[in-house]
Amino acid sequence: MLLALATSTPVFAQDATANTGDTAWVLMASALVLLMTLPGLALFYGGLVRVRNILSVLMHCFVIACAISLLWAVCGYSFAFGTGSPWLGGTANLLLANLAAVRAGTTIPENAFALFQMTFAIITPALIIGAFVERVRFGWVVAFTLLWSLIVYVPVAHWVWGGGWLAARGTLDFAGGIVVHTTAGVAALIVAMMIGARKGFPRIAMVPHSPALTMTGAGLLWFGWYGFNGGSALGANALAASAILNTHLAACAAALVWIAGEYLKIRKPTSIGIVTGAVAGLATVTPAAGYIGPAGAIALGTLGGLVCFGAVMLVKHKFRIDDSLDVFAVHGVGGILGSLLLPLFMLPALGGIGFAAGNSMATQFGAQALGVGVVALWTGVATIAIGWLVARVLGLRVDEEAEHDGLDLSSHGERGWDFNQGG
């Protein structure tokens, strides 16, 4: 890697052929996607845990952002988006060396493209932490995140977005229904089963300590998702506007469907319910945002709200798996659902963009099913192996005393909220 850096010519100046408007939008979108993790996801998850564990959730989000940023710069980008085989990129861009003045197929500098993709690499493993809050070792989180990102996220990103073999077979994923939400959701479900339930689950209600923080975090997630989906157009253009509009409509539909379901079940629409529904709609529309019209977005949001609501009931209440913050049921199920329904809503009659020449709804569905199936299988097998290996070396779960006292104090020696000091 040092040799590659020494013999390369990094590009810092913008080439005359790069579009300044498109570049500015992608840079802004990169900031919006980072905002989704810090502080959006941190606050969203932090409000959902019990009071003695909020700081640990914020720490997990921060350490993942730092560690994955460095991993991405050292080798992640090169292996995901560098020229290589259908399975993995090459080594030409190690340490972000040899970046082109303009990324091929775009109108933006490659360093802007690498920055934008870095923020996706950050939020994907950050989503997983919702499955094992309040009981996991900090060292396991760091080591697992690094290995998982390198072995799962990076190859999958190459297969779908980096010109890999799934892209060659026609699998579509506009902004991460497969690459982000399927991988994170499947991994979350497996880790939740590996680590086991929190003490008292499901007998004792694990009540969120601050729905207000969760709603604030959800608002930041929704705001940042404009960059997540709209930025994936890689330009300030009509495609970006369409993706943002579809994103917003899907979130609105799913949020209302979710609280309608709550009202039918418990006769009370809750703040946690409306934001969870919105996130379910956002995850469901993500793979399709740039390929469908507003009618398709509303339909996908409605279906995402219904299906993800049912998935939460199944995972938590029927199968009694303590996926603590419903990562699989919301992100995994939403991403898979949107990816598989994409061909239907691509139909021009439903406002979609239509299919590539020689393609049909059936062939596109086959490509989507292949992508979802292979990625879910690869993620599952790799997550089991990585989780087990890291657990053997560093341990997976804290002891009962630490879990009882809370991870804020036992893992970090601090309290997120100290009610014994101040007014």
pLDDT tens series, the chain, 423 aa: 444 444 444 444 444 589 999 999 999 999 999 999 999 999 999 999 999 999 999 999 999 999 999 999 999 999 999 999 999 999 999 999 999 999 999 999 999 999 999 999 999 999 999 999 999 999 999 999 999 999 999 999 999 999 999 999 999 999 999 999 999 999 999 999 999 999 999 888 889 999 999 999 999 999 999 999 999 999 999 999 999 999 999 999 999 999 999 999 999 999 999 999 999 999 999 999 999 999 999 999 999 999 999 999 999 989 999 999 999 999 999 999 999 999 999 999 999 999 999 899 999 999 999 999 999 999 999 999 999 999 999 999 999 999 999 999 999 999 998 766 443
Q: What angle do CA 186, 51, 42 make, to 5 degrees?
A: 45
Residue 420 lies in a domain: no
Provide the 10 A C-beta neighbour count for residue 182.
30
Q: Which two tokens stand for residue 187?
A: 């991994």
| CA–CA distance, 393 with 402 (Å, rounded to integer) | 19
Give the predicted TM-score (pTM) of the model. 0.94
Provide the 10 A C-beta neighbour count for residue 245.
17
Residue 423 lies in a domain: no
CATH code where residue 142 lies? 1.10.3430.10
Residue 373 lies in a domain: yes
Q: Which two tokens stand for residue 8?
A: 């390369």
| CA–CA distance, 253 with 223 (Å, rounded to integer) | 16
- Mention every residue, 6+ apart, whose C-beta is less than 8 A from residue 301: 249, 250, 251, 252, 253, 254, 257, 281, 284, 285
Instruction: Tell the burial category of 193 from Cβ atoms under 10 Å away from its Cβ (0-12, 13-18, 19+).
Output: middle
Residue 201 lies in a domain: yes
Residue 421 lies in a domain: no
Cα torsion angle, 419, 274, 379, 164, sign: negative
| CA–CA distance, 408 with 5 (Å, rounded to integer) | 40
| CA–CA distance, 214 with 65 (Å, rounded to integer) | 20
Residue 268 lies in a domain: yes
| CA neighbor of 194 nearest in space, from 251, 241, 244, 148 | 148
Count: domains in the chain: 1
Spatial contact of 89 and 83, defined as CB atoms under 8 Å apart = yes
- Mention every residue, 6+ apart, whose C-beta is less than 8 A from residue 170: 356, 359, 363, 364, 367
pLDDT at site 378: 98
Domain range enclosing 178 = 2-9+19-412
Q: Kindly tell me the number of DSSP H helices and DSSP E strands found in the chain.
A: 19, 0
Residue 95 lies in a domain: yes
Residue 417 lies in a domain: no
Q: Which two tokens stand for residue 6?
A: 């020494």
Give 385's strand partners: none
